[in-house]
Amino acid sequence: MSPGRLLAWPVLVLIKGYQRFISPLRPPTCRYYPSCSAYAVTAIERFGPLRGGWMGAARLLRCHPWAAGGVDHVPDRDPGTGRPVPGTTGSKPYAGTPAAPGSSHI
């Protein structure tokens, strides 16, 4: 197990525990899709505990009653540099559904 995964494991256990035990007890108030906790899990799994944790914290700070909300996916990871790829946070087409005309998504 890599050091990054070892450091990320306790954080992911806490977030997934929140998702399973605490979140169902609260009314749905998410302004974004996916929810902030799902975003944080994906960001930590994709970018590691430091950068992914920072991205999850920044998402929590954006989530407030005056935020417009909407679809906000975790950006794709550049395989060469490991950094987020700009412009890849929009809605993603689901498998089996055709992409919108003029879309560059496959």
- Give the tens place of pLDDT for each residue, 53-99: 999 999 999 988 888 889 999 998 888 888 888 877 765 554 444 44
106 against 54, higher pLDDT: 54
Q: What pLDDT is attached to residue 106?
A: 47
3-state helix, strand, coil in the chain (%, to 5): 45, 5, 50
Distance CA 79, CA 104 (A): 19
Q: What pLDDT is attached to residue 73?
A: 92
Distance CA 64, CA 105 (A): 30
Q: What pLDDT is attached to residue 91?
A: 59
Residues 6+ apart with CB under 8 A from 44: 8, 11, 12, 15, 52, 53, 56
Torsions phi, psi for 24 (to 5 deg):
-65, -20
Q: Is the pLDDT of residue 101 over 70?
A: no
User: Mind listing the pLDDT tens digit for each residue in 1-40?
Assistant: 788 889 999 999 999 999 999 999 999 888 899 999 999 9
